[in-house]
Amino acid sequence: MNNKEYVSNLIRLVLTNQISVREALLHFPNDTEDRNIKTAYYALAHYEADEDLRNRDALFRDEQDEYLMMIAELFENNKDLPLNIIKSYESYYPEINLPKKNSIIKFARKIAKFLNIK
């Protein structure tokens, strides 16, 4: 299974409430330079961060679910994300750092800080 297929599976598990977003983020591929994977990582992180809005706005929730499903389907077919989507995330996160293999504790701290958890 390649990284895109693996991430597709993680997204589907989140959307079907089989794992939490945090658990999915912790299992993202390590040390990747693939902009598609990095974009999916932050799309999923935003999914978690938007929980309050998702609970208040059914239309927003449905659109966000469809957006993540689109990412999952593209990755399942080993396709890249549209360049405009990748570029929109790169403008917010010019240097996206996925976890390194030997620094899971540092990664967990960064995620907690990103999600504003103490």
* pLDDT, tens digit, 9 for 90 and up, residues 47-81: 988 989 989 999 999 999 999 999 999 999 999 99
Domain ranges of the chain: 3-114
Give, in order, the Cα–Cα distances in Å from 65 to each of 9, 26, 68, 98.
14, 20, 5, 23
Residue entry with tokens 């929980």 = 51
Alpha-carbon distance of 93 to 50, in angstroms, equals 17
Closest by Cα among 18, 44, 37, 54 to 98: 37
pLDDT for the residue 11: 97
Closest CA to 72 of 116, 17, 11, 3: 11
Report residue 88's pLDDT band, with 50, 70 and 90 as the boundaries: confident
Average pLDDT over residues 79-86: 94
Given this model, what pLDDT does residue 104 score?
A: 61
Residue 36 has pLDDT above 80, yes or no: yes
